[in-house]
Structures are given as C-alpha cells and as structure tokens.
Structure 1
Amino acid sequence: MPAPNSITPKQLFRLIGTPQSPILIDICMDADFEADPYLIPGSIRHPAKDIEGLVNLIGDRPAVVICQKGKKLSQAVVSLLRGEGVQAEYLEGGMFAWRDMPDALRVPAKALSMQPKDSLWVTRHRPKIDRIACPWLIRRFVDPNARFLFVAPSEVDATAAMFDATPFDIEGAHWSHRQDKCTFDTMLDEFALHTPALDRLATIVRAADTNRHDLAPEAAGLLAVSVGLSRQYRDDHENLAAGMHLYDAFYRWARDGFEEQHDWPMDRKS
C-alpha cells in the first residue's frame, strides 16, 4: 500500500516540466546537499525548520517536500505543513531514490548558483522563438518564479546592470547562441537538462530560430505560430503567457506524442 501523503519518483517525473508540476521544496540538510550538490529541476532550497516560511512560500499550491532519503525529515515537515492546511507530499526515497531512477534529471547547484532565487532575466523586446522558448524552459525546469524583462536591443546591457538581471539571447552574453546552436541549446547544456524530449524540442527550436527547416519538419509550424503570436499580442508579457501554453503543448508532443500520426479517411490503406 502506498505511504500516505507521498509521491513516487516516477509519478513526480511525469509532472515535471508540465503546468501541473507541484512546487518542489528541497529541505536536505546542508551537509547532505554539499556532498551531492544537485537539485530536482525546479526545486527551491529552504530550511526544514522554517515551517512558517514554507507555508508562505507554498501558499495554496500543491507541494512536494524532498530530503535525502524520504524519511523522518521530509515526513515530519509534510505532517506539519498538512496541519497548517498545506497540500504537501514527500518524495518516497528522497534524493537517493530520485538519483537512482533511470533518466532522472538533476540540475547542478553550480549552474543554479549563477542565478538568484526568483531570478530576473532580460532580453530584446518583440520575442518570437528562442526568447519565448528559453523563458518557458527556465520557468518549467529551473526557477518557477523567474521574471523576464523585454527592452530595446540597445538597452539590454544597461538594464541588466541597473536591475541586476541576467541578459540572454543577445550577442556577447553568456546565455546566448554558441556556434550553430541557439540559446535554448545553451541552457540545456548549462543546466544539464538533456532528455530525449527536450533534445527533440531543442532541434525544432533551433531549426525555426536559425532558419534551417531541414533539421525538423515541425520548424515551419513553430515559426508560423510564433510570428502569429507576436502579431496578435502587442504586449510582450501577454505574448509570453500565450507562448507558455504553446511550448507546454510542444513538450508533451515531444515527450509522449511525437510518433502519433493522423490521416483521413480512417480506413485509408495507402
């Protein structure tokens, strides 16, 4: 019988990267974390004994609490949170079980240390492909509370300096195109987020963003929808909100539906 108030690594794996993903709270002891400095994508580090802070952080969202082994620490914290009316579960087996699961994603803390909690990013205005795909990746797999600024190309560097923001997808920035790859590829590399689904999506983003539609037949469709969204929404943040739904759908296709085909009539044999 499954343990009460728990979720298995496989169940959590299916939720990560989707809009249904819970808020993930890593409460591993500092010594344990320093010995294995990796996080499940989208996790937020927080002290285990700061229950009031956790209640405020989680709010009315469902949460999964993660410790090293999924035993006394996370189970006790979940029980305390449940007593406060919080929708919390603990990860069965903790980080050890997650680490041992095939194809489990683990983001190196070194990469995350480059970004503050509730990170702020800045890029050129009027985003279409890479500058929508990258925010989607960050919010779904790195920092669910990340914020984004869209400014004139000439103002990106000054804005980054004034607001302590991280520039991306602009020439000369750390987070930008490298060789024949686009910024989305760079983020997959830096955050160690390579999976078959994300690599499949990256190929489409790269093909559409660099006008190499021979790399993926889906690129033409992504370009068309991206241009259409940019024309439909004058406000870049409304465009991003719509683009999040677009990339949510592309990710589910890349993960679960890329082999599905459609034809008419249904009984066609050739």
Structure 2
Amino acid sequence: MGDFFISAEDLSHRLATAEPVRIFDVRRPQAIEPGSRFLPGSRWRNHIEALDWSGNLSRDNLIVLNCMHGHNVSQIATALLRQRGYNARALAGGVDGWIEAGLPTVGQSRLCPVDAGPSTWVTRMEPKIDRVACPWLISRFVDPDAVFHFAEAEWVIDIADELSGVAFDTPGAVIEHDGDLCSFDTLLREFDLNDPVLAQLASIVRGADTGRNDLAPEAAGLLAVMLGNSIVGKSDHDVMRLGFPVYDALYARLKLAGSETHGWQPMTD
C-alpha cells in the first residue's frame, strides 16, 4: 500500500487517539445523496480544486482524502496535495470500505452543511461539563474548523441569529436538554452519529451533568475534573481548551481500553 494510501483501520486508530488528522470527502457532487454518510470530522470539497482550498492547511498534519471507493477521485486530490508538499493520503476503499468495516459515520444536518465554511456556535458563559462536551463533539466529529462563542444566557439565541450560528445548551436553543437527555445527547441525535463509543460517553456526560453518578462509574470523576478545570481556566475558551483532552482520554479509553483495569499491588515479603 505504501504511503500513498491509509487503511480504514489505521485511520480509525489515529482518530481514537486524537492525532491531528484532517479528512476531506472529495466524492463527486452527484455521488452524494440526502442519505449519504460521512467520515467523522470530514468536510466536503471539490477534488479538482484541491490546490485552492488547501492553502490554509498545515503541512505538519496528516490529510486524508476519501471518495466513494478510493479510486481515481481521491487519488487525484491526494496527488495534487502531495505535489505541493502536503502529508496527504487517500483512504483505501473509500467511504464504502469504511462503512463495510463497521466504523462510525456522521449523517447530514441542516445545522452544519458539510460543504460549508467554518460553523459558528454560541452557548452560555461559564462552561463546565455539557458545554465543553458539545464543542469537543462538534470539533472532533462534525466540523474541525468550528468557532465557539460564550455569552450571557439571555442573549445567546440573539447572538447566534446575528452571527448566522447555532445556539446550544440554553433554553429555546435548537440543541438543548430534552427531558433526561443532555445537549450532548441531542447533538448525537441531530447528526446521527452512529458510534457506540460516543453512546457510552453520553451516559458519562449525562451522569456528571445532571447529578446522576449512578449512570456511569466515570461520571463522578468527570464532574470533579471539569469543576477543577472551571476554576483553573482563565477564560471560558481556556476551560474549553483544558476540557478537550479530558474527553479525548475518555473516548480513547472506552474505544481502545474499555476492559482494562488497574490492579497492581505492592510486593510484600
């Protein structure tokens, strides 16, 4: 396979460990239908215009191009980017191969079209658990270029409207609590994220955010760490920055080390 392609298994592992990877879906427009699925965090771009839309990408990060089957379309975009010195690789088997391997995919949503520029999201100030979990989910699985703003609760929806953004985790917002469910759960449903690991993580977030530590053994620990981050963080964006690695670690543990325990005991005579 060389270094021109990347396997679905390899890419899945890199995503689980939060390695910096940018994924671009370069399927021809006619190949994308209303029910089409996308790789986590991927954005759609025209493969022929790769040199135009790649200008702001880092040459230090891995760039993965996927088309329907991993044939000529993604290979054209990959070749163009590699010629310019980018660390670009085509996804072997394309999105079809990814789906056949049973790996997580994302559905389409009117809130964040995959062919649009960076999305804008607005929520209440002083984030702790759910309001950090949601930006993490959006950044890692929906739109890596997403921009987040924090405002007083009474102005969140107005500000989101004026910025053509999406309000979340505030009363009256498109994305908010729904009964016993948190905004994190609502996001999973809105984007039809069919990842069983995220479903597990949602229980942890819900338990920590609603005082239901019985929902998951990790809930109490998440609550403690995120409350600490809210004190250590110098600003709302700083709290968000500190929180992302926490959710990265939880996701990696659930996906790659879900059954691992720590039972070491000191040696005795």
Q: TM-score range by the shorter chain?
A: over 0.9
2:152 corresponds in structure 1 to 152
What residue number does 1:175 align with? 175
Counterpart of 2:19? Answer: 20
Alpha carbons 1:126, 1:236 under 8 Å: kept = yes
* Equivalent AA in structure 2 for residue 168 of structure 1: F
Counterparts of 1:39-54 in structure 2 under 5 Å?
39-54=38-53
Q: Which runs of 5+ in 1 are unaligned?
A: none
Asked if structure 2 preserves the Cα contact closer than 8 Å seen for 1:7 and 1:90, the reply is yes
Task: Tell me if the contact between 1:22 and 1:64 (Cα under 8 Å) persists in the aligned partners.
Answer: yes
**For structure 1, which segment, 92-101 or 41-50, has the greater mean C-alpha deviation from structure 2 after superposition?**
92-101
Hey, what's the Cα distance between the residues in 1 that align with 2:106 and 2:260? 30
Q: How far apart in 2 are the matches of 1:58 and 1:25?
A: 11
Residues 73/112 of structure 1: CA separation in 2 closer, same or farther (3 Å cut) = farther
Q: Give 1:21-170 correspondences, 5 Å limit.
A: 21-34=20-33, 37-60=36-59, 61-102=61-102, 104-110=103-109, 113=112, 116-170=116-170
Please say if residues 111 and 190 of structure 1, whose CA atoms lie closer than 8 Å, have aligned partners that are also in contact: no
Residue of structure 1 equivalent to 2:213: 213
Corresponding residue SS for 1:56: coil
CA pair 110-226 structure 1, distance change in 2 beyond 3 A: closer
SS in 2 for 1:64: strand
C-alpha distance after superposition, 1:114-152 (max 9, x if no partner) = 685311100000000000001001101000011110111
C-alpha separation in 1, matches of 2:217 and 2:7: 36
Q: Which amino acid aligns with 2:8?
A: P
Matched residues in 1 for 2:209 and 2:216: separation? 12
Q: CA deviation at 1:259?
A: 2.0
| Distance of 1:17 and 1:265 partners within structure 2 | 30
**Aligned: 1:247 with 2:247:** yes
1:229-265 Cα shifts (integer Å, max 9, x gaps):
1011130111111101111111111112232222342
Aligned to 2:202: 202
Q: Secondary structure at the match of 2:54?
A: helix
Answer yes or no: is 1:6 the counterpart of 2:5: yes
Corresponding residue number in structure 1 for 2:191:
191
Q: CA 1:105 to 1:85, structure 2 compared with 1: closer, same or farther past 3 Å?
A: same
Normalising by structure 2, we get a TM-score of 0.92
Q: 1:112 to 1:58 in 2, by over 3 A?
A: farther
What code does the residue aligned with 1:52 have?
Answer: L
Q: Is the 8 A contact 1:17 1:140 kept in 2?
A: no
TM-score, with length taken from structure 1: 0.92
In the alignment, the residues of structure 1 paired with residue 265 and residue 17 of structure 2 have an alpha-carbon distance, to the nearest angstrom, of 33
Query: What residue identity is the alignment partner of 1:16?
Result: L
Secondary structure of 1:108 counterpart:
coil
Provide closer, same or farther for how the CA distance between residues 174 and 97 of structure 1 changes in structure 2, counting only shifts above 3 A: same
In the alignment, the residues of structure 2 paired with residue 35 and residue 163 of structure 1 have an alpha-carbon distance, to the nearest angstrom, of: 26
Gaps of 5+ in 2: none
- TM-superposed deviation, 1:36: 5.6
Shift in Å, 1:35:
7.3
Q: Distance in 1 between matches of 2:210 and 2:200?
A: 16
RMSD: 1.9
CA pair 65-127 structure 1, distance change in 2 beyond 3 A: same
Q: Following TM superposition, by how much is the alpha carbon of 1:33 offset from its aligned partner in structure 2, in angstroms?
A: 1.4
CA distance in 1 between counterparts of 2:212 and 2:223 reads 11
Of all paired residues, the percent bearing the same amino acid is 37
Deviation at 1:179, TM superposition (A): 1.5
Q: Distance in 2 between matches of 1:261 and 1:107?
A: 31
Q: C-alpha displacement at 1:169, in angstroms?
A: 0.6
